[in-house]
Each structure stands twice: as structure tokens, then as C-alpha cells.
Amino acid sequence: MASKDDSIPIEKLGVVNLPQWEQGWQKAKDAGKDPQFHVKNVHPIFSKHLEQLTGGRSRLKFLFPLCGKAMDMKWLADQGHTIVGVDGVEDAARQFFQENAIQPTVTDVPALNGKLYQGMEGRVSIYVCDYFNFSSEVKGQFDAIWDRGAFVAINEVDREKYVRLMKTLLKPNGRCLMEVYQYEPRLFPGPPHNVPEDELKQLLGDYDMALLDTGDHTERLGKLWNLPWIKTAYFLIKASN
Ligand code: SAH
């Protein structure tokens, strides 16, 4: 497939839509592997900064946008929190429940043109649908969001829409921990996409944003994607009351 001017292939622009994500999941499965972005254990940055995200509060309602089969969901549910994940690829939900040996109940959700996988007495729900169909009408608002591989995964043209949706999904005192990648964007199309700090700040408007942590991935991902440097930055985002 080619882009509008027929000179730059779409994949070079880093535009990836749900059917391509689905293919990616299938390709990994056929190779007997996990998708490349999957972290096999609890994400170390998440466990390290969980306290900042919860503010020490228990039994919170967490949202995992574009959740994949993140182990963090089970880990949090075991601590008594309630988790809602959203992913457009059904195999993500299937694999999550299977690998964690949880028997899910599966129901159709016509309003979302999707399905709901639920387990652990309702403490873990994964909606299988396009995230942009999701809204606070489905499950209300959330105390906390772990945005890992989510904002960086959506297409760049959808960034404003994504942040608008995020703001409607967070409670007035809600918090979000967001991971973004940083590298020289002309050298690699993503995803994960490069997110300049200034752009994120501008998109968030009156929401507070503080850098909590950083990571250097030059060794592994730099080699893989032929980049001289590649980093992650982790921001704690707070809703403006
Ligand atoms: N947060 C997960 C997965 C990150 S990869 C983790 O940390 O492992 C991005 C995920 O988003 C993929 O599982 C992909 O299937 C899903 N995805 C991409 N676009 C989507 C969309 N528009 N709606 C819902 N899910 C989407």
C-alpha cells in the first residue's frame, strides 16, 4: 500500500491500524513467541512508582489503555485493585486469561462493537474493541491509568483525540503514569513513536506533568532499530481539579 503521494510507503510513516496489530499478534504466535513489546514480568518502573500513582490508597480503579496482556494487571488485581484493560486484538485478552490461569466469562458488547472478558470476581475486565470507541459511559471514570505502550502506539494524528479521551476517563483527582519513547524520529517511523516532552505538555494543557524516571534502551532497541540512541521517559500526570 502507498501513501497519498505514492512515494512513501505507509509503514515508513509509522501508521499502524488495528488489522496490522492483529497481524503482529498472529505473527508472534505463529513463531511461538510473545509480541516484541510484551514484558514477561511486572514492569519494573510500574512497581517502583506504584505508590506515586495510587497516593497510597487501596482498592482503586485502574485503566490500562491498549493493555496487551500486561502482567501488571494480574499483579494489581491480586493487591485488591480493580482493573479495566482495553485492547483491539482479541488474542491479547485470550492469552492474558490463559497464561494467568483465570477462567474468563466472555460476553458481546454490541455498543462497542466488541467483547468483554472478565475474571477474578470482576476485578479484571478486558474490553476487546477499538480504544477510540471506549468512553466513561462504559465503566465510569478511573482513579489511575498506567499508559505503557499506549500513547506511543497510537498514530500521531490521533494524539489530540487520545488526550481528550484520557481526560474524560480520569476522575478529578486521578493520576496517570505514562511511558514515552524519545529518539531521532527521522531515523525510525515507530511505533513506539517518539514523543517530545513539549508536545505532550502542550497536549495536556492545564494537567500537571512531572518527570519521574528515565530509561536508556540504546543497547538493545538502538541496535534493533539502528538508532544511535533511544530513551524512555516516565511522566506522572495529574488531573486539574
Ligand atoms: N500495554 C501493553 C501493550 C502495548 S502494544 C504492554 O505494555 O504490553 C500496543 C497494544 O495496543 C497492542 O496490544 C495492540 O493490539 C493495541 N492497539 C493498537 N491500536 C489499538 C486501538 N486503536 N484500540 C485498541 N487497541 C489497540
> Mind listing the pLDDT tens digit for each residue in 93-129?
999 999 999 999 999 999 999 999 999 999 999 999 9
Sign for the pseudo-dihedral over CA of 103, 85, 239, 51: positive
pLDDT > 90 in the chain, percent: 93
7 confidence band (pLDDT: 50, 70, 90): very low
Q: Of all atoms in ligand 1, which is nearest to the CA of residue 72? A: 7
Question: For 44-53, what is the mean pLDDT?
Answer: 97
The whole model's pTM is what? Answer: 0.94
**79: its cell numbers:** 493487591
Q: How far is the CA of 205 from the centre of ligand 1 (A)?
A: 25
Residue minimizing CA distance to atom 8 of ligand 1: 38
Question: For 4-21, what is the mean pLDDT?
Answer: 66
CA distance 104 to 182: 37
Question: For 33-53, what is the mean pLDDT?
Answer: 96
15 confidence band (pLDDT: 50, 70, 90): confident
Residue 2 has pLDDT above 80, yes or no: no
1 confidence band (pLDDT: 50, 70, 90): very low
How many CB atoms neighbour CB 116 within 10 A?
Answer: 20
Residues with CB under 6 A from ligand 1: 18, 21, 37-38, 66-68, 70, 86-89, 92, 130-132, 148-150, 153
End-to-end CA distance of the chain: 45
196 confidence band (pLDDT: 50, 70, 90): very high
CA distance 45 to 179: 9
Q: Of all atoms in ligand 1, which is nearest to the CA of residue 87? A: 25
List the 142-147 sheet strands across, edge first: 105-109, 114-119, 124-128, 82-87, 61-65, 142-147, 170-182, 231-238, 208-216
Residue 145 has pLDDT above 70, yes or no: yes
Residue 228 has pLDDT above 90, yes or no: yes
